[in-house]
Amino acid sequence: MARPREFDRDTALDAAIDVFRERGYAGASTGDLARAMQIGRQSLYDTFGDKWALYRAALARYVAQDGEAHGGALSTGPRAMDGLEILLARVRAQAAQGCLAVGAACEFGRRAPELTAILAGAEARMLEALKARVAEAQDEGEVPAAVDAAEAAAFLLASVNAIRIAGRSGAGAVQLQALAELALRALR
């Protein structure tokens, strides 16, 4: 009879997310992951299957959590531009930590259909939320009506990713702030 699992799956998965954010898929060994997750190698295999399955589970959990946090930031504030500013502040504050979604896109591109599906779903949800907030900002008179809300959403998402890459590459707070301000200024 197999022994019952003696660890919390989500806690272990969060630890794996941290390793993958720092090292990427190729740079994270199974030993590194098991140590960070505080589980034995066999427990890792029994629970998640293999390193690839663990990576997919980690990415899915990460984008769900990050998307929820982004949505919360976007909906903050009395005005739509407040939500956009708070979102960008959140991104700036975490930029040096690395983003698992950006890392996966850079490491695998479109070569891994399972990852592409996870990332595409997250991107679609984020674009819809950004588009809605830009449209609200237009209704509030802060973004010109001539701006295409869908194009502005795509630009903002690209800016979020650029800020994350710049932060991971060592850009300081002043530079990250400037990137965020330029993104918002482009809407006006």
Note the pTM of the prediction, 2 decimals. 0.91
Residues 6 or more apart whose CB falls under 8 angstroms from that of 118 comprise 56, 59, 60, 63, 104
Contact 84, 156 (CB under 8 A): yes
Residue 158, pLDDT score: 97
Residue 1, pLDDT score: 42
| Domains of the chain by residue range | 58-187
Domain 58-187 falls in which CATH fold?
Tetracycline Repressor; domain 2 (1.10.357)
Residues 6 or more apart whose CB falls under 8 angstroms from that of 38 comprise 7, 12, 15
Helix (H) or strand (E) holding 142, with range, is none
Contact 175, 184 (CB under 8 A): no
pLDDT, block means (10 residues), the chain with 188 residues: 68 96 96 94 91 97 97 95 97 94 95 96 97 97 97 98 96 96 95
